[in-house]
Amino acid sequence: MKASGAEDGGRPAGSPAPSSPSLEWKFSQVFGERMAGEEVHEVDIISAIEFDKSGDHLATGDRGGRVVLFERTDVTNHGSQKDLEKQDYPISRHPEFRYKTEFQSHEPEFDYLKSLEIEEKINKIKWCQPANHALFLLSTNDKTIKYWKVQERKVKKISEMNVDASIAEQNGNIASSSMNCPSGYLPNGGCSERPYNHLNNELSFPPGRLPSLRLPMVTSQDTNPIARCRRIYAHAHDYHINSISNNSDGETFISADDLRINLWNLEISNQSFNIVDVKPANMEDLTEVITSAEFHPTHCNMLAYSSSKGSIRLIDLRQSALCDNHSKMFEERDTPGSRSFFTEIIASISDIKFAKDERHILSRDYMTLKLWDINMESGPVATFQVHEYLRPKASLCDLYENDSIFDKFDCCQSGDGLRVATGSYSNLFRVFGCMTGSNEATTLEASKNPMRQQVQTPSRPARSLSTLTRVVRRGSESPAVDANGNTYDFTTKLLHLAWHPTENLIASAAMNSLYMYYA
């Protein structure tokens, strides 16, 4: 499979480029597939996707406040790799998942003090550390965060009672048949026409003994996963929550809204600590807002947050209790004379992720996907163009009119750190190789035929920002058309996707459908 890309502008002449073959993506599974012409209810549209650290479980949230869990089957069914070799089982080529359970995480609410309706839509889902064969996860809507425990519970079932089936069918039950008496009753329930040692034809007293007791038996059958809300973290945000992130210490997490970031302890729901506050004394002086925040994967004292101006700030919790002053700030300088009304809007970062190597940060703004080096603040080390054909002013005006310019796309990175991915319009998503010398830039469609939209697209030469780094720009497309030569459909957008932590498997959300692809 061929993929578009740019020539390596930072490689010395004559030096060979490292080999990085493009992956061949194939359809794996789909859950909730929409039939042609089928109407999609807004409450069923998927709004969040997250794999757990092991990759054995996947969670999705939707606009109706529901959380749906999926579990991996190709591992649990066949056991370990050694067991497969011993028992000669066929080894699955890629991870496969099945539906596990679902539960209602949030309900619509109304804030009477502010006359504000709070939607039940799930904004983010984060997995926590499992314990005692139970799964734990955090889910949030605009105002309230909930901590859920999902555990397998045995379903107890009463076995059939020890009664002759023919007798039970004839008389209904023991109690009713034993009370049938054609004549009048004596005091204490006796029957005048029957001896006292004979209650009915079916139950008789043996001489000198009581009849044998027939008791039901309780047996445990199947196990069902049960979700229970352990904690509710509420009333800590005046603005809509856009991010939650677990700390590597396994005890705390952060939640971020437009102006503040709060630090929580998982076991304490009635108290949080404000660690970042960008709200000015006069709201008229407000120039930027927080758009995303994430803890460092291993250093529990470090976290990063992005802003609507396209900057990323790295803060250290050891410096002070209120981290208004950042340790590092990553920002790309504007080209002189290139600013316009839309410059700041399209520069707003919608999502950030720490890379697997813990040295880089991946960010997504409206037009591009950027990779930043934590040790270099001057600019990104790589820039990937997602839909550059929309940059002309006429296209941006149309996007502004239909509010598409404010869409927030997720980004993700492969478990080996060699590739990054993000979504686009017309249910397309793009996969880029991020290693030095890689020209991989693949366009896939969220359907059973992911390569239907895949064609080779023209490339743009790379440009250098400084002598210290090479900035790669690739994946640009012809103006006003998509990768297949057609105009994009802005009503079908692929905002949410996640990459399996250890396998080349991508889960993507197209409206109410969950598509999975492997390579």
Write out pLDDT tens, residues 269-288: 999 999 999 999 999 999 99
Average pLDDT over residues 176-197: 47
The pLDDT value given to residue 21: 78
Average pLDDT over residues 450-470: 42
| Closest CA relative to residue 96, chosen from 519, 516, 415, 449 | 516
| Cα–Cα distance for residue pair 29/517, rounded to 1 Å | 7
User: Does the residue 133 lie in any domain?
Assistant: no
User: Does the residue 209 lie in any domain?
Assistant: no
Whether the pLDDT of residue 354 is over 90: the answer is yes
Average pLDDT over residues 159-177: 50
Which residue did the predictor score with more confidence, 205 or 221?
221
66-91: pLDDT as tens digits: 999 999 998 655 444 555 455 554 45
User: Does the residue 266 lie in any domain?
Assistant: no
User: Does the residue 506 lie in any domain?
Assistant: yes
Lowest-pLDDT choice from 213-227, 310-324, 337-351 = 213-227
Which residue did the predictor score with more confidence, 340 or 206?
340
User: pTM for the complete prediction?
Assistant: 0.78
The pLDDT value given to residue 458: 36
User: Does the residue 292 lie in any domain?
Assistant: no
**Are 102 and 69 a contacting pair, CB within 8 Å?**
yes
Q: Confidence class of residue 395 from pLDDT cuts 50, 70 and 90?
A: confident
Domain limits at 499? 360-456+484-518
| Closest CA relative to residue 427, chosen from 347, 497, 366 | 497
User: Does the residue 366 lie in any domain?
Assistant: yes
The pLDDT value given to residue 5: 38
| Closest CA relative to residue 77, chosen from 50, 96, 55, 53 | 96
CA dihedral of residues 326, 249, 275, 302 (deg, nearest 10): 0
Average pLDDT over residues 490-505: 94
Q: Which tokens go with 291?
A: 């758009």
| Closest CA relative to residue 499, chosen from 508, 512, 491 | 508
User: Does the residue 443 lie in any domain?
Assistant: yes
Which residue did the predictor score with more confidence, 400 or 179?
400
**Are 165 and 130 a contacting pair, CB within 8 Å?**
no
**Are 269 and 247 a contacting pair, CB within 8 Å?**
no
Cβ–Cβ contacts within 10 Å for residue 501, how many?
16
| Cα–Cα distance for residue pair 241/224, rounded to 1 Å | 32
Average pLDDT over residues 341-354: 94
Average pLDDT over residues 399-425: 94
**What's 412's domain CATH number?**
2.130.10.10
Whether the pLDDT of residue 128 is over 90: the answer is yes
E strand residue ranges, 247-367: 252-256, 260-265, 268-277, 290-295, 302-307, 312-316, 328-330, 351-354, 360-364
User: Does the residue 441 lie in any domain?
Assistant: yes
Of all residues in the chain, what percent carry a pLDDT higher than 90? 58
Lowest-pLDDT choice from 241-245, 347-351, 463-467, 502-506 = 463-467
Number of domains in the chain: 1
Which residue did the predictor score with more confidence, 333 or 479?
333
Q: Rg of the chain's alpha carbons, rounded to an integer?
A: 30
Average pLDDT, the chain: 81
